Amino acid sequence: MRKSRSLILGLALALSLPGTTALAAKTSADFKDLQDLDAATKAKIDALLSAGVFNGVSQDTFDLKSEMNRAQFAKVAALIFGLKVDSGLKMSSFSDVKPDDKGNGYALPYIEALKNAGIAEGYGGGRFDPAGKVTKEQLATFLVRGLGKDDDAKSAPGVDDQTVSDWAKGYVELALELKLLSNGADGKFGGGSNATRDLLVLGAYEAKEQYVPRGATPTPTPSPSLTPTPSASPSPSPTPSAAPPIVWPTPEPTSTATPTVQPTPTASSTPTATPTPTASPTPTPAPAITGLTVESGTVAGSVRLVYEAVSGNGLRFVHQPGPFVTPKVGSSAAEIGSEYETGADIRGVYEGEHIGVYEVNASTGAVVRFSDIALTAA
């Protein structure tokens, strides 16, 4: 059988069963150009790889120093800020964003999500310029807006840095203060220089750590109320009775007996009962999704899933080079991969990769069922 990188026809479906042992997801150790990084940076990259926010540019190359474009940023920002992404969207509000664009068409639903959230805007003439580079000051602006701090940036004094455009100085000030980005070795921000993937990785990690979903209100910790101590009721005073006359007897000398000292009995200690431990429930692996089929997508190098989730449930997906670990029933899927609408194309997948499909309760965000799809060419 001749293997092909393009999965157009003849896909075979392999569904994992609950309890199946699976390999770990891709980590920084799998990319040859990440081996010399410090442990802290590797940990951040691993967290983003595990969450499906980032992929390498090839099986063994991550390419931290390449300059990112606006399409790449759109996907990353939509994932880290939990934006609602319509995966089945085929039309863009921007004239230069097309689903059949081989290089950037995948980003169409992410670009629309960013526009709807007010994080990134287009240029004049209804253009977004998905292949255009993102400057450092633009990256700072997008990250600050994603954290919901647009008004704070507009009212900030701004950085005293001639390398930053006047309109961006407030956003750069907040980006530095929140440690989303940092100045260069010369102490300048370099706002007009193109941002590289390493800046997007580290900025995205910090933004994801600090992000609070819009509309979420922290639950206040109730202050304990003091229970007043009841006042003691006064005891009634006894009515005095007439005292009998005191008669002083004539004392007679008597010998005083020496008292015998009685030993003080020692109280026996009461043994403390040992509490019976309460057994913790054993987490149950999520059962496999049944009735799920895989078909070729509408364009080369894509697939689509056909499955009707139970009423009130939604679907999420992640694709990676190796198999998945079966999640537990009730575990949170809020930050796993992307929302999926049945029948929509999943692009950029290759023979030998796996797609993890999660059926999620829409009201609680908890995993209900799960399947691991292995992609092979017939």
Q: Walk along the chain (378 residues) and give the pLDDT tens digit of each residue.
A: 433 333 322 333 332 323 333 345 689 999 998 999 999 899 988 888 888 888 888 888 998 888 989 999 999 999 989 899 998 999 999 999 999 999 899 999 999 999 999 998 888 888 999 999 999 999 999 999 989 999 999 999 999 999 999 999 999 999 999 999 999 999 999 999 999 988 988 888 898 888 877 555 544 544 444 445 455 455 554 444 444 443 444 445 545 555 555 666 555 556 666 666 655 566 788 888 888 888 887 877 778 888 888 877 888 888 777 787 888 888 887 767 778 888 888 877 777 777 888 888 877 888 888 888 888 765
Q: Cα 96 from chain centroid?
A: 32
Q: Does domain 1-18+284-378 have CATH number 2.60.40?
A: yes
Beta strands in the chain (DSSP E): 11-12, 293-296, 302-306, 313-320, 338-340, 345-347, 354-361, 367-374, 376-377
Measured CA to CA, the distance from residue 219 to residue 318 in angstroms comes to 32
Q: Cα 216 from chain centroid?
A: 15
Measured CA to CA, the distance from residue 196 to residue 205 in angstroms comes to 15
| Phi–psi pair at 300, nearest 5 degrees | -60, 145
pTM over the 0.75 mark: no
Q: Give the residue carrying structure tokens 């000030």.
A: 173
